[in-house]
Amino acid sequence: MLNQLTISELSAKLSKREISAREVTQSCLDQIARVDGKIHAFLSYDADDALAQADAADKEISSGVLSTQKPLLGIPIAIKDVLAVRNQPLNCASKILGKFTSTYDASAIEKLKAAGAIVFGRLNMDEFAMGSSTENSAFGATRNPWDISRIPGGSSGGSAAAVAADECIASLGTDTGGSIRQPAALCGCVGLKPTYGRISRYGLVAFASSLDQIGPFTKDVRDSATLLGVMSGHDLRDSTSIPQPVPNYVAALDGKIRGLKIGLPKEYMIGGLDAEVKAAVDAAVKKYQELGAEIVEISLPHTDYAVATYYIIATAEASANLARFDGIRYGARVDGNDPAELYSKTRGAGFGDEVKRRIILGTYVLSSGYYDAYYLRAQKVRTLIRNDFLKAFEKVDAIVTPTTPTAAFKAGEKSDDPLQMYLSDIFTISCNLAGICGVSLPCGFTKNPKLPIGLQLLGKPFGEETMLRLAHAYEQNTAWHKEKAAL
């Protein structure tokens, strides 16, 4: 079935005109109609618009436009509900935006469109990207395609589930503390968080601006490299995007990993690490040795402080970023007798519990009297965490860890215990604090039930080529990524 194929497989068939973009798009729409009632990865999609984009792509293909010119020509890609796509709804899975529709394209979306992609659908997520299970959506939870009694991870749970269930060929998500890598691990796909500044954030609704990055969910590493290449680059509309040349990431996938050094952080073998996850990661490390890489034990001594540091910095930034949702400028409004009452009624009715918890925490850590004790201190610890990585990268080319301590947990299992939920991000958070890049790829399954396990590779700042080369070499020598959920 066409919807199960990768971008590179489809591109080859499309350019030979063995298949049409309309057929590819229709196969995704058929799969959505068949399975999304169970999974609920999509908040909405416009089938007619997707097919119209497909017809336009087919016209370009028949007029001779090649996939070397437009690497995503005719490929349906679905989008997390936090990125602006012109004339499409934008809700961040929150009630507070009401019937808001984007008036412009995010830079990453502009680039997808310029590369020929069919940009369709709004994917479910934790409200404003706050969460690890996609249970915090105001429009109902998403379920894991491998076992619908379980969560798909979060906050980009819809993006991961849609790719794992073959409802689209690839998707976009965002990663502030693991929201791409963690759901990719739990759903069995490839999820990449680029180096901070690699992809423009223009048109991304901000959660924590110093941590947020956009990135791809794909069925294999090659597609991840393709999408990263399309979306990367400097953008004058985002002052934090970095004017660094964009390498040919696909060309980096040459299998040459002999002699590369991979660090194994001793702090990551924690007590709560599930035995099957540990065994799968140990086996992956052995595989790397067989393939000629050298494994080096490293230390990231400030790892213990990462979760606390993240939940101070991320909530502080969120409290400032979310101040704009006031009932005056965007979306939903609940009227009051004066502005203060209007604000409080609108925000009281519009935000969900987790978003309110974060705003309250963030306001507290920034308040006078507590700023030095919490926010300022967290910024200092953040520097220590970044320095741990920079020091480790003097000795190694990349770092390997589990992506998550356990496979997908049951829906409802952690929703009443925010601290337990926050701890499921323990392996992914430091990467955002350090501003480096990371990718999660499938490295095995638990036995009973059969659930995907993710391997995380972390790379140097702007070290995506080496990181992807390593990910690709492992993938080419294993078959985990080829397994499909029975739906």
Active site residues: 80, 155, 179
User: Which of 249, 310 has the CB closer to ligand GLN?
Assistant: 310
Residue 127 CB, nearest approach to ligand GLN (Å) = 10
Strands laid side by side in the 170-175 sheet: 42-44, 118-123, 76-80, 170-175, 213-218, 190-193, 437-445, 452-459, 398-402, 261-265, 294-298
User: Which of 31, 176 has the CB closer to ligand GLN?
Assistant: 176
Residue 170 CB, nearest approach to ligand GLN (Å) = 19
Q: What is the x/- site pattern for ligand GLN, positions 311-350, by CB under 6 A?
A: ---x------------------------------------
Report the alpha-carbon distance of residue 92 to residue 100 in Å, rounded. 10
Residue 432 CB, nearest approach to ligand GLN (Å) = 7
Q: Which of residues 353-392 bind ligand GLN (CB under 6 A)?
A: none
Residue 130 CB, nearest approach to ligand GLN (Å) = 5
Q: Which part of the chain contacts ligand GLN (CB under 6 A), choosing from 171-179, 301-309, 341-349, 437-445?
A: 171-179
Q: Which part of the chain contacts ligand GLN (CB under 6 A), choosing from 173-181, 286-294, 445-453, 471-479?
A: 173-181
User: Which of 155, 430 has the CB closer to ligand GLN?
Assistant: 155
Handedness of CA 237, 241, 242, 246 (dihedral sign): negative
The bridge status of strand 294-298 relative to strand 261-265 is parallel
Residue 211 CB, nearest approach to ligand GLN (Å) = 8
Which residue, among 413, 4, 386, has the nearest Cα to 195 in the 3D structure?
386
Integer-rounded Cα radius of gyration of the chain: 21
Q: CB nearest ligand GLN: which residue? A: 179
Selected binder of ligand GLN within 3, 176, 226, 401 (CB under 6 A):
176
Q: Which part of the chain contacts ligand GLN (CB under 6 A), choosing from 34-42, 92-100, 161-169, 170-178?
A: 170-178
Q: Which residues contact 182 (CB under 8 A, 6 or more apart)?
A: 132, 153, 154, 403, 404, 424, 425, 428, 440, 454
Selected binder of ligand GLN within 177, 197, 203, 442 (CB under 6 A):
177
User: Which of 178, 265 has the CB closer to ligand GLN?
Assistant: 178
Contact predicate 178/432, CB 8 Å: yes
Contact predicate 171/228, CB 8 Å: no
Provide the angle, in degrees to the nearest 10, between the axes of the packed helices 464-476 and 275-290: 100
Residue 428 CB, nearest approach to ligand GLN (Å) = 8
User: Which of 85, 214 has the CB closer to ligand GLN?
Assistant: 214
Q: Which part of the chain contacts ligand GLN (CB under 6 A), choosing from 28-36, 95-103, 175-183, 276-284?
A: 175-183
Contact predicate 261/476, CB 8 Å: no
Q: Which residues contact 439 (CB under 8 A, 6 or more apart)?
A: 181, 190, 191, 192, 193, 221, 224, 456, 457, 459, 467, 468, 471
Site size toward ligand GLN, by CB under 6 A: 13
Tokens for 84, please give them. Answer: 């602006």
User: Which of 125, 443 has the CB closer to ligand GLN?
Assistant: 125
Tokens for 159, please give them. Answer: 């993006």
Which residue, among 95, 97, 179, has the nearest Cα to 138 in the 3D structure?
95
Residue type at 118 in one-letter notation: I
User: Which of 88, 156 has the CB closer to ligand GLN?
Assistant: 156
Q: What is the x/- site pattern for ligand GLN, positions 137-166, by CB under 6 A?
A: ------------------x-----------
Q: Which of residues 278-307 bind ligand GLN (CB under 6 A)?
A: none
User: Which of 208, 231 has the CB closer to ligand GLN?
Assistant: 208
Q: Which of residues 204-233 bind ligand GLN (CB under 6 A)?
A: 207
Report the alpha-carbon distance of residue 98 to residue 138 in Å, rounded. 11
Q: Which of residues 100-139 bind ligand GLN (CB under 6 A)?
A: 129-132
Contact predicate 411/148, CB 8 Å: no
Report the alpha-carbon distance of residue 445 to residue 466 in Å, rounded. 26
H or E element at residue 457: strand 452-459
Q: Which residues contact 326 (CB under 8 A, 6 or more apart)?
A: 342, 343, 346, 347
Q: Which of residues 23-62 bind ligand GLN (CB under 6 A)?
A: none
Residue 473 CB, nearest approach to ligand GLN (Å) = 27
User: Which of 206, 293 has the CB closer to ligand GLN?
Assistant: 206
Q: Which of residues 413-472 bind ligand GLN (CB under 6 A)?
A: 425
Report the alpha-carbon distance of residue 436 to residue 460 in Å, rounded. 6
Residue 189 CB, nearest approach to ligand GLN (Å) = 16
Residue 121 CB, nearest approach to ligand GLN (Å) = 19
Site of interaction with ligand GLN (CB under 6 A): 129-132, 155, 175-179, 207, 314, 425
